[in-house]
Structure formats: C-alpha cells, structure tokens
Structure 1
Amino acid sequence: MKGMGQSKLIYSFRARLLLIFALLLVTTLGVQYQLNEWERQRVARIIEEQEQALAAGFSLAIESLSSPERLADLSKKKRATFLEREADRLINILIVDDVGAIPDRLDPEDRVTDSLDPKYNPQQQPDGSFHYFKLGEVPLPPIIEAEQNPTGAGNGATDLLSAYVRPTEAGKPRAFPFPVLTDQGRSYIIIILGSASASYAPSPWRVIRPLLPTLAILLLATLVAALLVWRFTRPIRELSQAAKRIAAGDFDFQVPAANRRDEMGELAAVFNEMIAGLRRMRQLEVELHQAERSAVIGRLASAIAHEIRNPLNYINLTLDHLRTQFNPTEPEKRAVFERLTKQVKDEVARANARITELLSYSRPSRLKLRPLALRPIIEDVLRTVEVQAAENGIAIHLEEQTASPQVLGDAESLRSLFSNLIINGLQAMDGHGGELTIAIAPAEDGRVRVLVKDTGQGIPPEDLPHLFEPYFSTKETGTGLGLAIVKKAVEDHGGTIQVESRVGQGTTFTVTLPAASDAAHRRDAEP
C-alpha cells in the first residue's frame, strides 16, 4: 500500500506541477548566483586595477614631494616600473598646497604646485614670478574624499582603503585626495583615475545580461505552464465531448484519457465506468421492453390462436368432408372442385402457419438440448422445399468439406431456424431463378459455422439494421416474424448471426453455433 501511495504521488498532476516549479526556482537561484559571482569577480578585478593605479600614483607623488623634479619628469624615468602598466588608468596626479580660504580642507582656491600633466604646472612669468593654477581651474571627475589619519598625516594604505569604501560605482572616472603634512604645511595629493578597461567597464549588455536569465526562466515557466494546462485541459475537453455524446444517447465509446495516471486519468476511468453502466442499463431497458412486448404479444397470440384455430380446424374438416361426400362425378367439375378445395386448404394451412410463427416467437423457449449434427437437419429441411425450388428454377447446393463437430441444440428449434433462412432465400429469388448455397464448416474458434447464400435481389442498406426486428418485412404478405424467430433461436443456442447483402447480387446469412463439447464445458464452468 505504501508503494502504491508513492506511485500515485509521483503521477499526481499537483506533485508534478510543484516539482516543475521547484526545479524552475532552483534553476533561477543557480543562474542568479552564477551571474552575481561573475559580477563580483569583475568588481574585484576593477578594485585590483584601481588599487595598483592608486599605489603607483601615490608612490610617484611622495617621491615628487621629496625631490626637486616634476611629476612629469619622474614619470618618464619610471616608465619601466609598474607605473607603465597603470598608465592607461592613471590620468593625472596633482600636488595641491592648502592655501585656500578653508584651512585643512580642499577648496577651489588651493593652488596646484605640480601635475603629471605639464599644462597645469606653475608657469614662470616675464618678471620671474610663477603663475599657479587654482584647483577650481583643473577639470576633475567626482572627488572621493578619503578619511584623514588621526595623526593628521596621510597613510597610503589607510587612505586607499577608505577611498575605496566610498565609491558609488566601480570603474567610473574619479579623483582620490590624500592629505600630507610637509615642512611647508599641509598639501594634498590628488590622484585622478580614468574609466576601467573596456572589458571591466559597465555597458548596456552588462545591465541587460542579469535580466536575460530571468526572462528566459519566465518564458520557460510560461511554456511549461502552457503545456501543463494544455495537457490537463485536453481530457476535460474529451470529457465534455463525451458528455454531449451521452446526452445524445451514444454509449458505445470510451474516453481515451483513462490510460493517464494522474487525477484526470482517474476521473476518465470513473467516467468510462459510468458509460459502461449506462450502456448496460440501456440494454436492460431494451430487453425489459422486449420482454414486456413479448409478454403482451404472447397473451394476445394465445387469444388469437384460440379464437382463430378453432374455426380453421372446422373449415379444414369440412373441406375434407366435402371432398369425400360431395365430389362431382363429371371429370371437368371434379377438377374444378379439387382445385378450389385445395386452394382453400392451402390458405387455411398458411393462416395456421402464421399463427404458429406468432406463438413460436411470443412463447418462452423450452429447448431440449442434446448433441446434434447439423447436416441431417438441414437435409430434412431441403427435402420439404426441393419441389418449390425446382419449379422456380433454383439450384440448391449443400456443402461440407470436412466433418463439422456436433452442436448442443434442440432439433425442432434448429429445424425452424434453417427452414426460415432457406425459405427466405428461395423467396428472394422467386420467379427469377438462381442458386441457393448452404455451407457447413468448423469455425476457427471451435464453433460451427453455417452460411446460407442466395443470388437474389439483395437487401437495401437502409433495411439491414432492422432486418431482425419483429414485424419488420419488405414483403407485402410477410408477417416480419421469420427472421426474428431465427435470431431468437440462434441466441437461445448461444450463437450469433450476421448478414451481408448487396442489392442485385444476393444475401449471405452466417450462423455460428457453439460446438457440443464447448457448450458443455461452458455449462459446467458456470457457478
């Protein structure tokens, strides 16, 4: 039971839906984690590059403060050092004296005493004095102010770290000021860095890239959800169509979704069971209706037989008396008298036969079953119709290539069965001649198959579904009970009957009856 519960959980639509969304969540988190890791590595590389540039610039500036040489001259001497590696990132270095209106603080009035870019260096005037550029006259990127060392003197490592903690966006141009105390007072070293290298710099693609996995996962989730909804709603559509067919009275189908193992499969299986129950109920209703109809017909037939057969018997006896007592002596009158009395007796016999057919169909079957060979029964029936067949130019062929097994049947019921089929075939060719073939052969499933084939006019396709219905007849003088009696006799023996017909080519009835050994075996197997 535990294994069945786990299997049911695996195939549950809800469980699979939750599993898919869990996988999508894990995938989203994994992709976002990887993107964040790539971004962290990119920022780390930018920071490393920035630290190296700051260290190179700070080292050059400190050396400039203790040397009479300018920054530009010193940088040319140090091109062979690591400064050269950071030349692209290091845009400029300014050494600024704190002479502005705001002491101990950078302000636009502070003067530039040295610059890596020579055009901002002090310019000597004709009178021998020097013109200093003010800090406000030098274009600067956003300044990232470094916290001052508590001692009042700048510390390269500390200032560098505090300067990095402040950035708002890595890789952008910026300026880092570092306060330094010298013999002439407070100065500032301002290191100006340009943008990070192209591989590290922000770009529209770097802005969009983190959104692409989310978009892809959303699209994937939408696709999966659409597939799940389509797969889940398809059985609902099939159930809706099935409900319409049931409402129209069609019970001969099954909903194909019953082979699924989820909730919709269970619903479809229950729906199919309901269809099967309704189909059985309708069959029972039809059988009940037929039973009620047969009971009414039986009572009516018994009353009719009682009321009609007595006058028929009296008429028949009176005709016999007339033929013996009042037969004319003149040959001509005697011939006319014999012909007329014979016709009356034939009509009486025909009426009596119709009453017998009606009683045979309406009364419950009381079969005396015993093993029987079908060939002698059919030969006995053929002897009663051979004169009629010869008069109408109909050739009769009885075929049995191999000995067929016996059937468990009632001799009189089987004789009536094949008599009706053979007479029906002869009437189909009445006045036109033709061939009537009766073939007996063992069937593949151990049963016995009898084919009654005529070359008559055939049966229209629209009449075939009603052929075995009581009182349905295509003949003006027929009662419509002959083939109904045939079908009833076949079913009473546990057999089947089928008909194939083409207009203008003839009709073939196929009767399949269980063999005596098979019928006995099935009877013994019944509880």
Structure 2
Amino acid sequence: MKFLRTSIRFKLTVGTMVPLVAAIAVCWVIGSSIIITRFISEAQQTVESNLSSANEIFLGEMARLSDIIRLAGLSPELSAALRDNKNLPAVIPLQSILRNDRLSFLTLVDRYGFVRYRAANPGSTGDALRSEKILADAAKGIVCSGIFLLRPEQVIRENPQLPSLMNIPLKPTPHARTYTKQVENRGLFLIAAAPVIAADGTVAGVIYGGMLLNGENRLVDRITRVIFQPRENAGQPVGSATIFLDDVRIATSVMDERGERAIGSVMSAEVYNAVSRGEKWNGKAFVVDRWNFTAYEPLRDYRGTVVGALYVGMSEQPYAELRSQINTIFSGVLAFVTLFGVPLSAWLGSNMARPIKALEEGARRIAAGEQQSDITVDSHDEIASLAGEFNIMKRRLKEREREILSLNHTLEEKVTERTTQLEEKNEQLLLAQKELAQAERLAAIGLLASGVAHEINNPLAIIRGNVELLEMNSAAGDHGPEELDTIMRQVARIERIVKNLRAFSRGSAKQLSRFSLAEVLEDILDQVGHQVLLDPYTVTRHYRGKKIMIEADEDQLRQVFTNLIVNGLQAMEGGGTLFVDIGADPEAGLCRVAVADTGPGLSEEQVEKLFTPFYTTKSHGTGLGLAVSYGIVRDHGGEIEVLSEPGQGTIFSVILPLKQAPEEQGEQG
C-alpha cells in the first residue's frame, strides 16, 4: 500500500499538538473527575451531617411538646378539678394552652383512665383509655412522648376537625412505587403525656396532647433554615427537608415544577425499600422531579414500628453547573492552546523544514545533473551538520563524475575498437556460414544423387535382364509381350522418380494465377477416385460455401493438396473419415487448408522425419511426395504444420499467403 506523502512541517505540527492536546484532554478528564468526585463526596457528607442536625431539631420539637404537657400537669387547678370531679375550672387553662401552643388536641384523664375533659372537643367525655400504653406509662409518674400513626376514627373524638386536616391527595411521582389509593387519610402525630400531681404528691390523673405533622410545614421550614443557609442573592436555601408518613410527603420544603410544596408526592421506591426495613439511606436519589444528594432516617412510633422518615437533601444542580463550568474552562484552555499552538508549531516546523527543503532541492538538482552552489543553513544544529556533509558529498560526487567521464571516454574508445573487431569477426562468420550452407547443399545433393542411383539401379537391372532375354528370344523368333510390359512399367517408374527429383530441386518456375481454393479441392476430390477406391471412406467437405481466392501456382498447389489427400486416405487402411476444410484471416493476409484423417496417427519421431527426402511410412512409397510438397509450400512463402498422436489420427495444415510478395511476382514476370 502506498501512503500519501506528508511534509515535515505537517508532521512536526501534528507531533507537537497531538501530545499537548492529549495531555490537556487527560488532565481535563482526570481533573474534572477528581474535582467533581471530591465535591460530590463533600456534599454527601454535608447532607449526612445535616440529617443529624435535622433529627436534633425534630427531637427538640418533641421535647418542647413534652415540656408543655409536663407544665400543664403541674397546674393545681387540674388536680383540684380531678379531686373534686369538676370540669369547669379546667376549661379555661386547657383551652388557653391548646390555642397558644398550637396543639391539635389536649385531653385530661383521671387516674382510672376515663376522659374527664377534651379541650378541642369538650362535649366528648367519659370514654375509657386505660389500654393506651403512653397513658399507662405517664400514670406511673413520668413524662412520655413519641410518634403516633392514627386513623381518622381514632382522632375524631379528640378533635372533629382533624380528619379533614389529615387528608393528603397523592401525586404520581417518577421512580416511586405504585399506589392504588388516591388520598392518604391517616395522620402522623407527635404526642406527649404527663402525670397530674395532686397536693399530696400522688398522681391524680394524666394529661396528654398532640401535634399533627400532616401539613405542618413550620417544622420542616425551621429545619431548612437552620441547617441550610439561604443563598445570598436568591434568598432560597440550597437544600430541603421532608417528613414522610410511610413514603408520602406530609410536610416538606421541597418544591415541585410549579413552585408549590410537593406535599402528596411519593418517595422513590429504591429509598423506601431500605427505609421501610429500618435502615438509613445516604446517597444520590430521585426527589420529585430531579436528582438530589440525600439522607433519610426512619421514624419509629412509640412501640418501635417504622411509620415514616425524616429527609434532608441538596439539589445536584449546583454541582452539575460546577461540572459544566470546569468543562467550559478546560474547553477554553484547549481551544486557546489549539488556536495559538497550531500556528506556532507550524512556524517552528516551517523553520525546521526550510533547510531540509533546500537539501531536497539540492539532491534533486544533482540527480538532474544541474550545477548548484553550496547549501547554506543559518542554524547551529544537526540540520546544519547535515547540510555541511551534503556539500562535501556533492563535491565528491563532482570529482567522481569527472573520473567516470574520463573512464567512459576510455571505455568508449575500447568499445569502438572492440566493435570494429566484432564486425570483422561477423563478416568472417557470415562467410563461414555461406560456406557451410554450400557444403550442406552439396551434401544434400550427394545424398539425393545417392538415392537416385539407388532407385534407378534396380529398374535398370530389370531392364537389362529383360533386354538380354529379348535378345535371346529374338534369336529364336519369340517376342514376349509380358516382358515388354514389364519394361514399360519400370521405365515409367524411372520417369516418375526423375520428375519428383526435378520438383524437389525447384527445377520448375511458378506460374502465378488467382483461383478459388474450394474449387481446386472439389476437383481434386472428384478425381482422386482414379487413384484410391473411395467406397470404404467417408469424405467430409467443410470447405463448401466458403469463397476464398488465392494467388499462387495452381498446378503446384494441386500437387500438394492431392498428395495430402491421397496420403490421408492411404493411412486409413480398411476405411475411415477424411475431413477437408479451409479458412482465411484477411487482416493477416493468410489462409489455411486442413486435411485430417482418422488413421492410426504418427509418433513424435515420425513427425520429425516426415519431410525428409526418401523417408516414408508406406511400404510402396518413394519418400519424395511430402518433401516435394514441403518445398512447394515454402517456395510460396507458406508452412505445413502436422498435429498427430498415435491412435488419434493426423491433421495436416497448409498455411499460405493470400497474395504472393511483389518481388516474387517480379521474378516470375
């Protein structure tokens, strides 16, 4: 793979900025994570500490209620009223305490457990409360207080107005558990009970009072003000407090999206699952409509059962804003570094790349053969040293160039001298080749003469014998016709051999004419039946319908095609199929005549000797037919190709030019 070429300036800029940007990014991530984690941890610890303060305020409210009830129990009017069984003296002080201290109810019980007077409901008296544990404990002479979860039917006698004040409509809240009821009608109360002491120090009865927490926002507001300092500008505390009945907010300083108190909203299910088991919850939690840092503590009633929870929390938003500010600061730093660092790195890279560019230009000019003065670099670093070494190298290359030019001049002289000698040797070699060709031709002629002598001796011997016999018979007056026939056949054979020898030696000149290959082949196949009986053979004539005209000696080519067709038929002893076809390539100026048989085929050794004079594969052949055909085809500027395998038949292909060369035509003219 070929990579794109980049400049040194770009590499230096990238090499400088990438580590710097990466370092800033790493510091950004790590620093932001450490800072935010630290602030979040401190915020959560603050919330946990605030929960302890809120719990102290809550317990302080319960202690205040206990003090009010205890002081009321010390009133001599109450003990006198219980002793004299009179209610009227007690009316005025109890109703004053109920009104001034904002109690939800205040009730007086005698030592037998019967209600003697209800300040919030004077008409309801006489019912027995002996089974109430807090009253029984107070009757023992101690002040008792606690949290109570009361149903509407339990509080209606104490104060008929309380059931309506206890009702809190439930609001659907994200992350909360599913509620089937629409209204929470139970009430969460702070209740305190104290003994009423008689003049003789004995317990004359019990007085108890309660404060409804449903909708009592004064307590949560006081908790919020005490533990969360209001913002200096907005005047709003950064945190909030809530009292839960089970998981329903019955008093809270948490505001919903409309800016109203979120009374009736529900605690998240995750937190409730922990608080309902009596466990504290410290951590991040979803409060109404946003995430807060929170702390929850279970509220237990007088008997120890979990009936609600006390909550304090701070919004996550200030810390999200802090995270955003930190990200903005780091983004600004990164942008500043990038804005000023990239041009600075590019400038430094350009200063460093300039001498390197000069070196590159010098190397290019030297490679192109141009003249160049020494490279000067205004620096005192490695690049200056490299420029100096480059100048030294340039001078040495110039000296080496002069040496090479001198050596090349010497080599050219030697090459010229060797070339002259080589030309002389080539002339001598050409002369030797001509002499060798002449010797080969003489050898071929000698071989031909030897063959001719061999072929002629036998018929001449026969002629000589028969002539002697004729002479003897002539003396006896007997002229034998059979002997004369034999003489004629042998004489004809001699004539045929001589004719083939003349054709092999190119004795006859070409008579050029333009004719149709298909017509010549058709005529040969029509006449070949006089030489070979065609009954056992099937001749397939693929050339029919093909118009191919050729300029050549028709008689000589007719001899060639006749020889190939007859050889193909004679090779298929007992019958077979002979295929004859023609084709032409006008662009190349060539044509092809193919003769194929289904005979026994030829071996590779036979194919190599096939065109040698006097070599034959037939028992009665002379071995001159293919040699003569080969000479005719070569004389026409063509070739004969043979494709054969034993048992697969043989294909002879004659390749000829469609038109003879002009010089050959001139010679024939």
Flag whether TM exceeds 0.5 (same fold). Answer: no
TM-score normalised by L of structure 2? 0.33
Please identify the structure whose Cα radius of gyration is greater: 2
TM-score normalised by L of structure 1? 0.40
